[in-house]
Amino acid sequence: MPLFFWTPTIAAALHIFEEFVFPGGFLAWDRRYRPQYATSIGSRFAIIANALLLTLCIQTGFLGARPEGVALWLAVMALLFTNALYHLRGTIAGRSYSPGVVTGVLLYIPLAVAGYYHLIHSGQATVRMAVLFFLLGGSYPLISAVLHRARSKGQANKDVTN
């Protein structure tokens, strides 16, 4: 099932398109939603984060059904799943459309659930492996918050010293 391992790439590309092209406006929305990190939420950060994400997704496709590909697929889809939850939570809490919520809810969540089910039930992944890589990939929101907090604090310190 080679296309299966390319689904994170396809879904992420469509998600990034929704965030930044049509309808776009994700960075401005995110700054309003998380004003404490506004100085950290910029184009450079978004470009680097999304380039790394697409690199991981593409690598998943090339690795395919090999054990490394299965592990990477699980981790990447956990990252995408938790990203969808971030957009959904932000849309609900902020009572405003988060660019990325449509592809997150319609693609990321169902792909992750169906894919985890498929990989476990086909024997390509064990439950233990699925849990481990879900925790690994799903830790991205925590890592992102820590990075934004540090970058925002660094910017605030720079502003005070100037």
Q: How far, rounded to the nearest angstrom, does the alpha carbon of residue 42 sit from its chain's CA centroid?
A: 16
Q: Provide the pLDDT for residue 156.
A: 59
Query: Cα separation of 161 and 158, whole Å?
Result: 5
pLDDT at 160: 45
Instruction: Count the domains in the chain.
Output: 1
Predicted pLDDT of residue 157: 59
How many angstroms separate the CA atoms of 107 and 104, rounded?
Answer: 6
Q: Residue ranges of the chain with pLDDT lower than 50?
A: 160-162
Other beta carbons within 10 angstroms of residue 123's beta carbon come to: 7
Phi, psi for 98 (deg, rounded to 5): -95, 115
Q: The tokens of 76 are what?
A: 């990447």
Question: Which structural domain, as residue segments, surrounds residue 117?
Answer: 2-161
